[in-house]
Amino acid sequence: MSHNEPAVLFAEETIQQRVKELGRQVSADYSAVDELVLIGVLRGCYIFLADLSRCLTIPRRIDFMAVSSYEQKTTPGTLRLIMDTRTDIAGKHVLIIEDIVDTGRTLHYLLEMLGSRKPASLRTCTLLRKPDRLEKDVQIDYLGFDIPDLWVVGYGLDYADRFRALPYIGFLEEDC
Ligand code: 5GP
């Protein structure tokens, strides 16, 4: 794998504009609720969640969860909760914030777990989705962009913990 600069898939301005649109849509849809709980799935979501939450015009609370990454697993498909939320979400309106939905296993796992805690509502928002890789039938209520089957980095996303701070979303050319 090359350690050269990744090729640009979405420029900074393109991402910022789409995040603003998502922020407007979420703010409009939740305009009548007392408070929206945004639950970010660490670590890749942190920049998207920071930008999206600042675009919202409704009362909101931020919380995080972390799930083990299948990259480090010998048997893909086994997910483990590493960090839980601090918020008791029973009766609350919850929006899960993901960086990227690949197979959909992570989101499926989180939807089952958080759904069992009886939130008032539970929806999903992901910046990116790889439709060709989806294995689980997960509902995505807010989507930034569909992308091809590439390993993408930047805007919070990493390759071996590199590239997270890039302001754009790029891909590593060897993946083509
Ligand atoms: P899923 O459970 O949907 O297969 O995988 C979701 C997780 O896999 C994401 O939250 C992310 O951590 C990781 N992932 C999947 N595809 C990519 C990618 O192209 N780039 C990066 N950086 N992470 C990815």
Query: Domain limits at 27?
Result: 13-148
Residue 122 lies in a domain: yes
The pLDDT score that the predictor gives to residue 92 is 98
| Number of CB atoms found within 10 A of residue 90's CB | 9
Give 163 Cα–ligand 1 centroid separation in angstroms. 14
* Intervals of the chain under pLDDT 70: 1-3, 69-77, 174-176
Whether 103 is in the pocket of ligand 1, judged by its Cβ within 6 Å, is yes
Starting from the edge strand earliest in sequence, which strands make up the sheet with 93-101, in order?
81-83, 60-67, 36-42, 93-101, 121-129, 142-146
Residue 153 lies in a domain: no
The pLDDT score that the predictor gives to residue 15 is 98
The pLDDT score that the predictor gives to residue 73 is 47
Q: In the chain, how many domains are there? A: 1
Residue 2 lies in a domain: no
Closest protein CA for atom 15 of ligand 1: 102
